[in-house]
Amino acid sequence: MSREQIQARAMVLRAVDFGERDCILTLLIEGLGKRSAMAKGGRASKRRFAGTLESFRISRFTLTDRGSDKMAWLVEARVEEDFPGIEASFEKISAAAYATELVRELLREGEGGEMIFAALAAHYRQSDGAEDERARLEADLTTLTLRALALAGFAPSLERCFRCQAPVTEAPGWRLMAEGQGAVCAGCLEQGERSFETDRGELVVMDRLYGGYAEDLPSIEVLRKMRPKLQSMVSSAVGKELRSQEFLKMVLG
């Protein structure tokens, strides 16, 4: 059977050592989605793969596609874009690691197209050039989290009650569903359902951050109050807590 070569930009979502010389990579490939690949000699070869098997880079990979039921082989790679501003900051590393794991866990093998690739790349660029302040990192991570959830099919309803469609700006008494459906008004919340206390102001801030990276930042107190609610949405979507969640809490507070 003939083997097709693929050349495309990709980001490493995870790299796991395999044996003494090789690496198994989880890649997010532009236009092709999440794919696994074997880097033969990846732990030893400095020339073929220099710098490309690390996180927080966009590289051009040449892969040999061995069919849908077999792992691709990495032939060669070169870095096209790196983000030294992330690597210079422990705080930015913690946020970028969470963003990377989030995208990896939201997608199954073969899922994810150009839009989620663009969203993660945009987040790396935003973080790379941003001020190293916690409110900025929290706000930007909120934007990426909401966009990634939406692109993976888990968009929470933030402008209306997800049940009766009452606008947030009109109905009183709001909660945020712990399982990720979004806002629910007092009249639609059912007994025993897990939910978080929220209000119109917080829902408006979330919706604004979903729309793009903010120039005017919400307060760090508001952002930290939102983080466990977003992480609950993520845990519901992927079926577990992200491993980087505790690291993020340790670094950003």
Of 68 and 171, the one with more pLDDT: 171
**Which is more confident, 253 or 121?**
121
CB 181 within 8 A of CB 162: yes
- Phi, psi angles (nearest 5°) of residue 13: -90, -25
CB 22 within 8 A of CB 31: no
Looking at every residue in the chain, the average pLDDT score rounds to: 93
- Residue 185: CB atoms within 10 Å: 21
Domains of the chain: 4-82 (2.40.50.140), 85-252 (1.20.1440.120)
Residue 65 confidence (pLDDT) above 90: no
Largest Cα–Cα separation, the chain: 63
| Per-residue pLDDT tens digits for 181-200 | 999 999 999 999 999 999 99
What is 6-36 written as a DSSP string? EEEEEEEEEEEEETTTEEEEEEEETTTEEEE
For 48-51, which contacts have Cβ atoms below 8 Å and span 24 or more sequence positions? 48/75, 48/76, 48/77, 49/74, 49/76, 49/77, 50/78, 50/79, 51/79, 51/82
pLDDT of residue 128: 97
φ, ψ dihedrals at 73, nearest 5°: -110, 135
Structure confidence by residue, pLDDT tens digits, 126-156: 999 998 899 999 999 999 999 999 999 999 9
pTM for the predicted model, two decimal places: 0.94
Q: Is the pLDDT of residue 35 over 70?
A: yes
| Residue 47's pLDDT band (cuts 50, 70, 90) | low
Residues in the chain: 253
pLDDT reported for residue 68: 66
